[in-house]
A and B are shown apart, each in its own frame.
Chain A
């Protein structure tokens, strides 16, 4: 019996030691395998998994961070130059505008020779057993444009391509044919497109030449060729990855032409990209292609900032990119401080520790962290419903003065300081910094905080002290919003208080998004808060938001203010087709002057992102727009390893102290108890 007890005690001791050993092995806060610390791996995080990696559909920032690296585009942006400039990517050059004999405008893209898709078994469909890749052809770009037009693909940018001749007709014909003949809808997509198409304005001239013909001028279409929407897509990948018989879905299995290929895709955990040996920049460094070589020139100040240190070196520098899922902001930021993420934004909770007097704190500087600020091409504004009888165009001069007064009552700088830690540039017009037409020196006379002038304007409008003489009561307006969080309520309350100070009584009507949409559809709203982040860096992408054709009441478009002004529309039509230059600037200024006076919006701010980088990361220049530029980044793994070690040595003494305390508390009690029982 005693021997059995001893064996039991020994086993318990062994189990205890094994558990202690396992815990000791586990006792590190490094979330990555040790072996990776010597490699050029870039670690970053994502909050929301991409909904789709299908380049025709992917439209969120996380998805673009993947598709932008995996899918090459015909055109790209210059990494350093501002204002933004297009450079050739998979195309040999940026196409020139060409006028066809029938007056239509065309752009001819010539692909580089010897471009390969990433290795993938789907190519066995065309190349036979063992085939892993093939040459990229102009037909692959055309195929992707047909996919965007395909209603079943449900591309969110279908409207942007409707200027391509025959684009809408193809969409309609395809949908109609599928409805008439359900059997037709089950045929391979390529066959369906061939049978109904091709799209008149998408012309494959030879294996490497593609011509896009527009039904009406739209020079901004070139920007869409710098986005993954228009990347070459192999039909084999779409056909093979159908989600059947254990195969992936194409939306989860990209087969691209970019500098990185997807090697791990676990939406709820991690996304891993690896340098692709098939990328043209790696296979043909001798081309010195602009999209495959670090730029040797930038904007003034880039050399001093160290952005040209890697000039003319072949891309990419980083071997692997790991996106780790981090839903909560505090753990994400702490991991950055521990050196486990290479970049980070600044969380609200730590803002005052990180930024002091609008500069990086001494503690952060000591850690070798740098701060970069970049103004996003975005505009956030308060809008008036211009179809409203009281605040809109029907109210004539009275309404105009009311809008001007309300615009003068809002102090954006103060609002930004209170709610966004000052992260934003007060807006004077819809056009943000970095976009052609932005004038740093311009001060909108109705966007300066001046409550006295606001009161005077109210008086001129016939509302002395904000009181409507007809009713003898203060003007009562409604601010409709679907943002119901307490923080958002406070933000909106700020505006309401500002207007109350000049005598206007504004009530916040917070409803669900759908109720808000219903109100917008019915035109039963007066004031709202909205924002826009540009797809591409052109003033057209901001000024179109106030054209009649985009009015919510007319087309359900993004002109929620329902601003409809013939002169503005005419100026817009001229402006959008002109190249950047003095003539275009004149048109823009005239449009802005119109907006300044009419005040369909109270322009609030352009969002400013603060990003922190560790010292081991180099060649980092904030880009502003959500275009992945990771192929330009470089890092020093040895420095990172050393810093991580220094920052993350486990502190074990509390463990021993805790155990000692436990023994000290329990043992006397046990001893006393046993003695008493005896």
Chain B
């Protein structure tokens, strides 16, 4: 087990280094330090002001090691990330650690309840339709699930903002307030949208898992022993369907911390998801690379945790 974890960690490190390389390559293929400076200073900034800004922010160095082996942006990029020296935002000089600390709260305020509720709703609804398998409830459930997963999340967002917030006037169209007495008012709509956009695929997936389990011998045995259908579904089927559910859950957990790009952006929630969108829009390389780096670390960590959790939950799984 230890050898497996160490091997996965080594591959994970290679993946993260690769992600940082591609980020650097892609970012500087479409932009350059002058763009970063211009975004920070404004369109009217004169060339000498731009040069001064680049010097002040370390962007006056050549990009690649073959241009200057001792002092270049590429090595600087790696040394900063690998030593967790995130530095300051290129667009407004705010320490990036501060930004991360400020953004994690709003992100989790959205993603945690959304994650818990979508899991609960997905499992409950799929158990429900699996329970009523081969009835019109099942068929209608599958139809609605396919319909729900076919609609783009953007349509859900715009539609919900129009229908729920503008026409029905139930919740604010957008905004955020961390005050516990009003936070629900701002989170209700993005959570509803998040649920609507996820529930279709969740129901489809979990229903298949549950139906597969319901055809197994142990389920037949449980029924033969006189167990009620509801008891069979919740006590036997649900428990044995845990592995695929767990895979879904553990893989999703790291991304709770990085927030939701679209929901945060469209609903004005100042989390890490919208921070990433803003850093792309603002050519803020320092913030963007930090978020990508953390996302990569969480992803790799999540993958390893998933594999390890298989072994812990299911004794049949052996890692090696």
Contacts and interface: CB of A to CB of B under 8 A. Distances in A.
Interface of A: 22-23, 25-31, 33, 48-52, 59-60, 151-152, 154-156, 158-159, 243, 249, 251-252, 266-269, 324-328, 330-331, 334-335, 338, 340, 512-514, 517, 556-558, 648-652, 654, 665-666, 669-670, 672-673, 677
Contacts of A28: 169-172, 185
8 contacts: A52-B92, A59-B41, A60-B42, A156-B44, A159-B48, A268-B278, A330-B158, A651-B169
Contacts of A268: 102-103, 270, 274-275, 278
Interface of B: 30-32, 34-35, 38, 40-42, 44-49, 52-53, 56, 91-95, 102-103, 132, 135-137, 140, 158, 161-162, 165-177, 182, 184-186, 188, 229, 265-266, 268, 270, 274-275, 278, 282
Nearest to B268: A325
Contacts of B38: 513
Contact of B46 (A51, A327, A334, A557): A557
Contact of A673 (B49, B135, B175, B265): B135
Report which residue of B41, B47, B135, B169 has the largest number of chain A beta carbons within 10 angstroms of its beta carbon.
B169
A653 to B, nearest CB: 9
Given A156-B41, A269-B270, A649-B169, A665 B140 contact: yes
B219 to A, nearest CB: 15
A670 B40 contact: no
Contacts of B165: 29, 334
B270 A266 contact: yes
A669 B41 contact: no
A670 B137 contact: yes
Grouping DSSP codes into helix (H, G, I), strand (E, B) and loop, the B interface class, with mixed when no group exceeds half, is helix
Contacts, number: 155
B270 A514 contact: no
B93 A328 contact: no
Contacts of B53: 154
B168 A654 contact: yes
A325 B166 CA distance: 19
B185 A326 contact: no
A670 to B, nearest CB: 7
A514 B283 CA distance: 13
Given A48-B282, A326-B174, A330-B158, 9 more contacts: A30-B172, A31-B172, A31-B177, A31-B186, A60-B42, A154-B49, A513-B34, A648-B169, A672-B135
Contacts of A324: 175, 268
B169 A650 contact: yes
Contact of B265 (A33, A158, A327): A327
Contacts of A514: 31-32, 34-35
A251 B135 CA distance: 65
B34 A267 contact: no
A673 B132 contact: yes
A60 B165 CA distance: 32
A51 to B, nearest CB: 4
Given A29-B171, A268-B270, A331-B174, A251 B41 contact: no
A340 B175 CA distance: 12
B41 A33 contact: no
A25 B165 CA distance: 15
A399 B172 CA distance: 59
B161 A49 contact: no
Nearest to B95: A243
A156 B42 contact: yes
Contact of A677 (B185, B188, B229, B282): B229
A324 B147 CA distance: 36
A42 B91 CA distance: 28
Contact of A59 (B44, B161, B166, B282): B44
Contacts of A60: 42
B214 to A, nearest CB: 14
B170 A650 contact: yes
Contact of A338 (B32, B49, B166): B166
Identify the 9 closest CB pairs spanning chains A and B, nearest first: A268-B270, A31-B172, A556-B47, A669-B137, A331-B173, A31-B175, A26-B184, A26-B185, A331-B174
B161 A330 contact: yes
Choose among A23, A557, A677 the residue with the greatest number of B CB atoms under 10 Å from its CB.
Answer: A23
B267 to A, nearest CB: 8
